[in-house]
Amino acid sequence: MRSETLIETIGYRGYQIKIHQDDNAMDPVKEFDNLGKFVCFHRRYALGNTDQFKEPGDFLEFQKQNKLIVLPLYLYDHSGITISTTPFSCPWDSGQVGWVYVSYEDAFKEYGGKKMTPSLRGRVEKTLRQEVKTYDDYLTGNVHGFMVTSPDGEDLDSCWGFYGDKDGIAEEAKAAVDFDIKEIEKEAWTKAMNEQNQGGVLA
Judge contact between 128 and 73, C-beta under 8 A: no
Cα–Cα dist 199/90, whole Å: 78
Domain boundary residue among 139, 173, 194?
139
pTM of the model: 0.86
Confidence check: pLDDT of 16 > 90: yes
Domain count, the chain: 2
- State the average pLDDT for the chain: 92
Mark whether 151 and 194 lie in a shared domain: yes
Judge contact between 100 and 128, C-beta under 8 A: yes
Judge contact between 135 and 38, C-beta under 8 A: yes
Mark whether 10 and 36 lie in a shared domain: no
Cα–Cα dist 30/37, whole Å: 10
Confidence check: pLDDT of 199 > 80: no
Task: Report the helix count and the strand count for the chain, using DSSP H and E.
Answer: 5, 8
Cα–Cα dist 140/134, whole Å: 10
Lowest-confidence pick of 91-95, 99-103, 140-144: 91-95
Mark whether 131 and 111 lie in a shared domain: yes
| 191 residue type, one letter | K
